[in-house]
Structure 1
Amino acid sequence: MDTLGLRSRAAEPALPFPSGQDISMGLETVAFPKSPKTDSARLAPMTGYIVSTGSIGGLYRMANGDWRIGVLFSNSGVTAAAETAEANATRLAIEEINAAGGVHGRGINAVFYDPGCSAKKYQELAVRLLAEDGIKVIFGCYMSSARKAVLPEIEAYRGMLFYPTFYEGFEYSTRCFYTGSSSNQNAVQLARYLIDNYGTRFLLVGSNYVFPYEYNRVVMDLVTRAKGTILDEIYVPVEAVPKDFNRVIKQIGKLKPDIVVSTVVGTGAVMLYEAYKQAGFDVATMPIASLTTTEAEVAEMAPDIAAGHLTSASFFETLDTPQARRFVSAYKQRFGADAPVTAGAEAAYFQVHLYAKALELAGTDEPEALAKHLAGLEFDAPQGRVRIDPDNHHTELWSRIGRVNAEGKFDVIWQSETRIRPDPYFVTASFDDWMSKPHQLKRKA
């Protein structure tokens, strides 16, 4: 279960999440119509699975039945690009595990639903998976609003959620395992880097939902402790349109911050960067720094729009290690050369492998039994070896900062020397320890 990229295969034609009538399929290979090359990052078809309205089932069935899981990622809506990458990576991990014989001789059968970036739909589909489909373990959610809608149902039905997206922290559930980074694994390092290299005058812009508000609260505290200033804090609708950024651009031009920190998500991020470029701001002296602008969003921009801007993440597609190269190669062979690979995708990938390892140890998919074996479990992920912290169900991860180059790819310009233990409530981590240490994260040319 601990290997990366066990099987490589040619990229298959892309396929959106299916809809319409319920269709049952057996073990035979199913031919699907080819879709445009521009849709190469979409989900590719599986063979021998069950298709129901808005869902994709598992890879194949073994004689003694499959381990069934649910997957909730959006293939439509404002954050579809980032969520599709996470769905793809989930699928890649399932295929690797099944190709190696499954777990205890049983394959993993996944039922995918498309919530369309709607928190209400996430909640409804979680109930459908847990109550109607009889599934105990769900992988998914992107925005914090979706996770917060799903978690009460996970608790009520005594299920389990694996959540792969970076988030604000300040949360714990015995029935959730958080494999994306929390604020002490990204916000602190990014703030220190920005202050050391650009200045102390910050302007914050985000999408109008829980993650940007909570993340910006952490950034405000960090900057204030470093004797810096928050010049303005602006929020735009999650489903933003270009005119929503007029005030943002006006305030940047008026206040002239040293740095702009963005937590704008999805299609709105593309609009912000395009407006920034059109306004003529100098990215060399005043870049946008973000957690939410990943390879998926950059792929939607012209290279000169994104070039020079910064992102903090645990993983970048360009990370030059054997594990990372194997993962990225397998992903692109499976989903297309232009399919972006994000930190969220990497976490979505390794969390399935962690689940499989726990399943192998427990011999059952009962959430309580899995949780006992997940606590302290380690895996050689593409970003480096990771570990589930038994105290808070978050994951020890690596911290990195990347800068977009002229080709639209991230150059890794800083990374932590060791993995960072999660501290979602900042119980043991001291802001002052980090923010009082100057010149720790100097800029690379």
Structure 2
Amino acid sequence: MSPKLLKTSAVALLMGSALPALADCPVKVGVLHSLSGTMAISETTLKDTMEMLVEQQNAKGGLLGCELEAVVVDPASDWPLFAEKARELLTVHNVDVIFGNWTSVSRKSVLPVIEELNGLLFYPVQYEGEESSKNVFYTGAAPNQQAIPATDYFLEELGVEKFALLGTDYVYPRTTNNILEAYLKDKGIAAEDIFVNYTPFGHSDWSKVVADVVALGADGKKVGVISTINGDANVGFYKELAAAGISADDIPVVAFSVGEEELSGLDTTNLVGHLAAWKTRMGEDRVTNDPMEAHYIGFNMWVNAATGAGTTDVDAVRTAMYGQEFPNLTGGTAVMLPNHHLSKPVLIGEIQEDGQFDIISQTEEVPGDAWTDFLPESAVLVSDWKDLGCGMYNTETKTCVQIKSNY
């Protein structure tokens, strides 16, 4: 080697030793969303959103001197496979963070893996609450940010007197409906005026369920449907509503898990006026749903937290996440709370003839609550990972309840 090359190499080594390595390059972002199976209709767009966000961040210069790489896996709407793919992301691909899951059963499948390996998961979908993990940031809506306000809208604005709670048969609809049943009874709705029904993932024959809902209003009382139906089962449900000639004036439906993807290909003429309690809009031309916005907010908060911490280390990033602020897509500001939930507004959108939504109701930012006030066993619990270091702090006994995840 020539003297000139020796000198150049020495300078390079000296410079390298003087600058600490802020992150291992590339910074790997795990994307854990179903690209096949019954949930692909909802989750594929979230995978696309994450790839777009990674590309945009790289165009800005990456993170901590490194380029970002999206590592995409397909858990295929198979709940045990979600856990396997999460383990693969953390142990084989060595990702720095994971953005993923849709259904609560998939999240609960992943949770023990994330906690065992001290990973970091950003979960973007509305969910049932009743959970708080130091390894998860819940950027979707908690029940007090979606289910309760939507029910209030039915009661106060539409005068609904009887409720059909229709859900896919898994933990999110069942827990949410338990909360709503307690809430409705507290509001004076009689037990016999609440109809609850669950159907499997991918359910397609909705004739009997729709007939039962119609029968609920045989006495002339106003009936409303609160839907926690997930995935492509929504297609069959809305087709049956249209076939039965049910309009929003007859029986309004508010859905927590339906967006443009689920409505695509449907004749929405008979669906005009039905509602979704999560719709928002990005920019002037591009329409997006709430989970997409949640990934947008969560990703940018993670980037800012890692930048502030000077590392992608999970423990350091977690500490830097508290109090992170980022503009949401409705003109307000999302704030990360010590309970790993966001303050965010409640939006209710009405289905239009073109299959899109028109926002008809919007609140100020509402702080997400991990533990509902409407179940006695949960009303005494608070989550505070910043100061108390506890996700289940009992305010009566002044103790931290430690329950190991084992779903």
Q: Which band: TM-score by shorter chain? A: 0.7 to 0.9
User: Which residue identity is paired with 2:215?
Assistant: K
Equivalent-residue separation in structure 1 for 2:375 and 2:301 (angstroms): 26
Residue 71 of structure 2 aligns with which residue? Answer: 111
Q: Does 1:407 align with 2:354?
A: yes
Q: CA deviation at 1:102?
A: 1.2
User: Which residue identity is paired with 2:67?
Assistant: G
1:139-161 per-residue CA deviation (whole Å, 9 max, x = no partner) reads: 10000011000110001111111
Task: Name the SS for the 2:35 alignment partner.
Answer: coil
Q: Does 1:136 align with 2:59?
A: no
Equivalent-residue separation in structure 1 for 2:271 and 2:110 (angstroms): 33
Match among 265, 288, 292 for residue 230 of structure 2: 265
CA contact (8 A) 2:247 2:271 kept: no
- Please say which of residues 122-131 and 278-287 is displaced more in the overlay: 278-287
TM-score normalised by L of structure 2: 0.81
Larger Rg: 2
User: Which residue identity is paired with 2:171?
Assistant: V
CA contact (8 A) 1:260 1:286 kept: yes
Equivalent-residue separation in structure 1 for 2:120 and 2:40 (angstroms): 23
Matches within 5 A, 1:50-61: none
Q: Residues 79 and 300 from structure 1, CA distance in 2 versus in 1: closer, same or farther, beyond 3 angstroms? A: farther
CA contact (8 A) 1:290 1:311 kept: yes
Q: CA deviation at 1:88?
A: 1.6
Question: 1 or 2, which has the higher strand percentage?
Answer: 2
Q: Does 1:249 align with 2:214?
A: no
Q: Residues 234 and 123 from structure 1, CA distance in 2 versus in 1: closer, same or farther, beyond 3 angstroms? A: same
- Please say which of residues 78-87 and 150-159 is displaced more in the overlay: 78-87
Task: Name the SS for the 1:145 alignment partner.
Answer: helix
Equivalent-residue separation in structure 2 for 1:131 and 1:213 (angstroms): 33
Q: Does 1:362 align with 2:309?
A: yes
Match among 365, 384, 400 for residue 419 of structure 1: 365
Match among 272, 283, 286 for residue 325 of structure 1: 283
Q: CA deviation at 1:64?
A: 7.5
Matches within 5 A, 1:93-242: 93-196=53-156, 197-229=158-190, 230-241=193-204
Q: CA deviation at 1:351?
A: 1.1
Equivalent-residue separation in structure 2 for 1:386 and 1:291 (angstroms): 20
User: Which residue identity is paired with 1:386?
Assistant: A
User: Which residue identity is paired with 2:253?
Assistant: I
Residue 48 of structure 1 aligns with which residue? Answer: none
CA contact (8 A) 1:130 1:159 kept: yes
**Identical counterparts, % of pairs:** 30
User: Which residue identity is paired with 2:197?
Assistant: I
Q: Does 1:310 align with 2:310?
A: no
- Please say which of residues 293-302 and 271-280 is displaced more in the overlay: 293-302
CA contact (8 A) 1:85 1:342 kept: no
Q: CA deviation at 1:429?
A: 11
Q: CA deviation at 1:79?
A: 1.8
CA contact (8 A) 2:226 2:253 kept: yes
Equivalent-residue separation in structure 2 for 1:135 and 1:76 (angstroms): 22
CA contact (8 A) 1:93 1:350 kept: no
CA RMSD of aligned residues (A): 2.2
Residue 342 of structure 2 aligns with which residue? Answer: 395
Q: Residues 186 and 285 from structure 1, CA distance in 2 versus in 1: closer, same or farther, beyond 3 angstroms? A: same
CA contact (8 A) 2:273 2:352 kept: yes
CA contact (8 A) 2:183 2:374 kept: no
User: Which residue identity is paired with 1:125?
Assistant: K
User: Which residue identity is paired with 1:291?
Assistant: F
User: Which residue identity is paired with 2:78?
Assistant: S
Equivalent-residue separation in structure 1 for 2:230 and 2:24 (angstroms): 43
Match among 34, 49, 73 for residue 74 of structure 1: 34
Residue 347 of structure 1 aligns with which residue? Answer: 294
Residue 385 of structure 1 aligns with which residue? Answer: 333
Equivalent-residue separation in structure 1 for 2:104 and 2:226 (angstroms): 19
Q: Which blocks of at least 5 consecutive residues in structure 2 are unaligned?
A: 1-22, 380-407
CA contact (8 A) 1:198 1:259 kept: no
Equivalent-residue separation in structure 2 for 1:180 and 1:143 (angstroms): 12
Equivalent-residue separation in structure 2 for 1:405 and 1:275 (angstroms): 18
Equivalent-residue separation in structure 2 for 1:215 and 1:189 (angstroms): 13
User: Which residue identity is paired with 1:234?
Assistant: N
Q: CA deviation at 1:311?
A: 0.8
Equivalent-residue separation in structure 1 for 2:185 and 2:165 (angstroms): 14
Equivalent-residue separation in structure 1 for 2:321 and 2:24 (angstroms): 25
Residue 18 of structure 1 aligns with which residue? Answer: none
User: Which residue identity is paired with 1:325?
Assistant: G
Q: Residues 305 and 86 from structure 1, CA distance in 2 versus in 1: closer, same or farther, beyond 3 angstroms? A: farther
TM-score normalised by L of structure 1: 0.75
Matches within 5 A, 1:21-100: 65-100=25-60
Task: Name the SS for the 1:111 alignment partner.
Answer: strand
User: Which residue identity is paired with 1:236?
Assistant: T
Equivalent-residue separation in structure 1 for 2:372 and 2:174 (angstroms): 17
Q: CA deviation at 1:325?
A: 1.1
User: Which residue identity is paired with 2:307?
Assistant: E
Residue 39 of structure 1 aligns with which residue? Answer: none
Q: Residues 211 and 266 from structure 1, CA distance in 2 versus in 1: closer, same or farther, beyond 3 angstroms? A: same
CA contact (8 A) 1:307 1:403 kept: yes
CA contact (8 A) 1:140 1:162 kept: yes
User: Which residue identity is paired with 2:166?
Assistant: V
CA contact (8 A) 1:92 1:349 kept: no
Count of residue correspondences: 348
